Amino acid sequence: MYSLLGICSVYGRAHRRALRILATLKCVPNERSRMSESGQQSVTFDTHTELEAGTRVRVETRDFTYVIDEPESLGGTNEGPNPVEYLLGALGGCLSIVGHAVAAEMDLDVESLAVDVDGELNPARFQGADVDSRAGYQQITASIQAEVTDAAGDPVDDETEREWLERTEDRCPVSDNLAAETPVDLSLE
């Protein structure tokens, strides 16, 4: 369930122009990009994780390193968010980034954009219990609070707001991965 609240503007004209240019590029090729046989561009993202101690995991991606851990109530040391919290944060972050890009393409300005994401799961399967429920979230809810204006600085109408939100959700890779079945190829080397 998504909800939009408010409407206004923050970025200067030069910033909006730069975003529109980036939005038209879609994806800038780099050493990790490739063209498929059908002529569509593909970009590979990757991470490297290492279990350090207990449930503490170090993650490396591009020039970043971060920690994943479980809360004490789930056997961890609470030194970082757990994997399913990062998943919720990834959805909120992706919706924010895509929402910003879509607004630029629609000649809209985003003054503020916040996303609250929550999900409920039963930890029994994770903890080794023989249960019928899934290990992951049963449902995820994202609530978007956005202040969006048109190029003249006027609040957008409900129809424009709905179109912006629909385009944002449609183009969000994380939302797509959560909503559609994505094959996972797991191997032990």
- Give the pLDDT of residue 36: 64
Residue 45 has pLDDT above 70, yes or no: yes
| Per-residue b or e along 91-106, where b marks 16 or more CB atoms closer than 10 Å to that residue's CB | bbebbbebbbbbbbeb
Mean pLDDT confidence for 59-74: 95
- Give the pLDDT of residue 13: 37
Tokens of 138: 């049963």
Mean pLDDT confidence for 124-134: 90
Task: Classify residue 164 as exposed, middle or buried by CB count within 10 Å of its CB (0-12, 13-18, 19+).
Answer: buried
Return the domain boundaries, the chain. 13-24+85-179
What is the CATH topology of the domain spanning 13-24+85-179?
GMP Synthetase; Chain A, domain 3 (3.30.300)
Q: Within 10 Å of residue 60's Cβ, how many Cβ atoms?
A: 13
